Amino acid sequence: MKKIIVIIMVLALCIMAISCGNHMVSHEETVRTQEPASGKNIVIGFSQLGAESDWRSANTESMKSTFTAENGYEMIFEDGQQKQSNQITAIRMFIQQEVDYIVLAPVTEKGWDTVLQEAKDAGIPVIIVDRMVDVSDENLFTCWVGSNFELEGKKATEWLNQYIKKEGISPEDIHIVNIQGTLGASAQIGRTKGLADAARAHGWDLLAEVNGDFTQAKGREVMKSLLTLYHNINVVYCENDNEAFGAIEAIEAAGGKVGSDLKNGEIMVISFDGVKEKAMSYTLEDKISCIAECNPLHGPRVKAIIDLLESGGTPDKFYYVDEEIFSANKAVTKLSIDGTEYDVTLLTQEIIDDRNQ
């Protein structure tokens, strides 16, 4: 009888061991199937040109907050530090990593044919954001999303044209300096062209065009130099907000006064972007007379394009962002450009508060 009991106990232990073993194997298989789940996320390689301005920082944050694991993405971010060579290296790294999509914010327009051909050969769609690329074959990239920089320039200069007419100021009494952005960048090309064309058309005195690299420090440096070279400057055309901040600092340090009252010796500052609350506050104070908006929030726009591609759709080649022009001055309320009318948004503190919520 004792032997029978022992045999039964041994058999029971064996059955329990087999059961536990099967349970452990089942659990391990579950873990293994769960481990690659993150691999199902869509992998984005994002080459950002740098962090030269508040606009650029907002653009980067928009991308990072959009392409998250919670949204079904994995984003590999590379800061080009204002060097095209760094961006080309990043794109080649993305190709080696076999990402699903490459997003490129190019530092300049030219010099991308070879590396974009490599991405195309690898079958990786490339979406260009913000600045454009000047390539021999537009099929080297899938699509582009960004601003119409020349239109921004036309808006800013038409605002100036309408303003001086309302104030009864002669065109030949307008003496402008242009603090340009990074030379060769789409924003610089478009905004510079907008001013150059308007100066020729209206007979303004365009004293100088100097590179400010879209930074506050460079804007301050070149404005200080311009004030020593030219003593009749009354309009400063800054191709982004950070350059405008620097220019304002230099003007005030030199004892000048910024503002829209040109008849009483103030120096008018015109700017682009309108991202930072500081830029809008300066506009409300009339330190900046008008801002042509450049919207940096491209993350959701790029996501919409990728969603369309994932569903088998074909995106448009070019997506232009709708943007406003802001001023706290009531003199100009509408602009007519190439047959299209644009409202000038009269800036208030309420608008500033809404934009920063």
Chain centre to alpha carbon of residue 357: 19
Structural domains in the chain, CATH included, are 41-146+297-320 (3.40.50.2300), 149-294+324-355 (3.40.50.2300)
Q: Give residue 276's pLDDT.
A: 72
Q: Give residue 40's pLDDT.
A: 82
Q: Give residue 39's pLDDT.
A: 52
Q: Give residue 275's pLDDT.
A: 84
45 to each of 1, 75, 140, how far by Cα in Å? Answer: 73, 6, 16
Q: What is the pLDDT of residues 197-213, one digit of tens each?
A: 999 999 999 999 999 99
The residue ranges of the chain whose pLDDT is under 50 are: 1-38, 357
Measured on CA atoms in the order 54, 59, 65, 68, is the torsion positive or negative?
A: negative
Q: Give residue 356's pLDDT.
A: 62
Q: Give residue 189's pLDDT.
A: 97
Q: Give residue 330's pLDDT.
A: 95
What pTM does this model have? Answer: 0.83
Q: Give residue 201's pLDDT.
A: 98
